[in-house]
Homo-oligomer: A and B are copies of this chain.
Amino acid sequence: MTAKIGYLGPKGTFTKLAVDTAFNGETKHSFDTIPECIDAVEADEIDVGVVPLENAIEGTVQLTVDYLVHQVRIPIMSEIVVPIQQHLLVSPDFSGALTDVEEVHSHSHAIAQCHQYLHKHLSQARLCYTSSTGKAAQMVSETNKPIAAIGNKLAAKTYGLRMIQEDIHDFPNNHTRFAVLSKNKASVHINHSVQSEKTTLLITLPSDYAGALHQVLSAFSWRKMNLSKIESRPMKTGLGNYFFIIDVNQPYDDVLFPGVRGELEALGCKVTMLGTYPVYQMDV
C-alpha cells in the first residue's frame, strides 16, 4: 500500500522541497498549519507527517516542539536537513534588468534572509509580503507586471518561473531541519545514505535551582555522550519553569541511555524519549 505523507504547504515551499527530495512514490498531502499535520498523523489519516524542526522559513519551530511535548506524542522517525537556497524568480517573459523589477514578493522570513542582497541590488523595488514563498511564486506566474518572487528551485519549477539570479540569501551554509513523524517505522522509506544517528530527549527539571542543568549534563558528560543541540523552552505553566530538549549524537542503546535516565530520575527529573533516528542530509 502506498504511504500517505503530509507536509506544511502550499506547493513550492521549503517543506515540500524536503518532502520531494526525501520521498519518492508516496502520495503527498498539503496541510495549512503544523498542528493540523500532526493531528492527521495521530488520527491515522496520513502515515507520515513532515514538519519544521529548526530554522524554518514557513512555520514556527517552537510550535512543532510545543505541540509534540504538550499535545500529541508521535515519535520522530528521521530528520531531513536541507540547505536554504533562495533565488530571485521572474516570469519567463520578463526581459528587463534587475533595476526594472518593481516589486519583490515573498514570505517575510525569506525577504529578511535576503535583506543585504535586496538592499544592494533591488533598492528600487517595493517589498510585498505573502503567506508563503510558494504563494509568492504563484502570484508572479499569474501576472504580466515586472515583478519578482523570492523562493527555492521547486517554486521556480512548479510555477514555470525563470531564476534571474541564484543564491541571493545573505548567509551561506544555512540549513533548515525537518522532523519526519510517524507511528510506524515501516511507513518511512528514505532512499538516501544516512549521515548520522541521533536521539532526542525531553528533560523536565524538578525546579529552577542554580546548577540543575549542569548536574543533568554531567550524566551525559562522564559517559562521553556528545550533545549536538540543547534548548530550554518555557513549560507554559508560567514564566520561570523550563524543560529541555537535548539531541544526543548517537542511537539509543540498552546501557548508556538507561544509565542516564536512572541518574536523572534520582535527581527528580522526568526523561522522555522523543525519538532515536537517522539524519539525512539532502542536496537539492
Contacts and interface: CB of A to CB of B under 8 A. Distances in A.
Contact of A63 (B81, B109, B175): B109
A177 to B, nearest CB: 9
Interface stretch (A87-95, A159-167, A184-192, A234-242): A234-242
A218 B214 contact: yes
Contacts of A240: 228
Q: How large is the interface on A (under 10, 10 to 19, 20 to 34, 35 or more residues)?
A: 35 or more
Copies in the complex: 2
B112 A34 contact: yes
What is the predominant secondary structure among interface residues of chain A facing chain B? Answer: mixed
A129 B214 contact: no
A155 interface: no
Nearest to A224: B210
A220 interface: yes
Contact of A239 (B109, B175, B236): B175
A234 B55 contact: yes
A208 B226 contact: yes
A123 to B, nearest CB: 12
Interface string A168-184: 00111111000000000
B226 A242 contact: no
A62 interface: yes
Nearest to A63: B112
A230 B213 contact: yes
Contacts of A170: 71
B211 A224 contact: yes
A232 interface: yes
Given A63-B109, A130-B131, 8 more contacts: A32-B108, A60-B60, A131-B131, A173-B236, A173-B238, A209-B226, A213-B227, A239-B281
Interface of A: 32-36, 39, 54-56, 58-63, 66, 70-71, 81, 108-109, 111-113, 115, 127, 129-132, 170-175, 208-211, 213-215, 217-218, 220-222, 224-232, 234, 236-240, 242, 244, 281
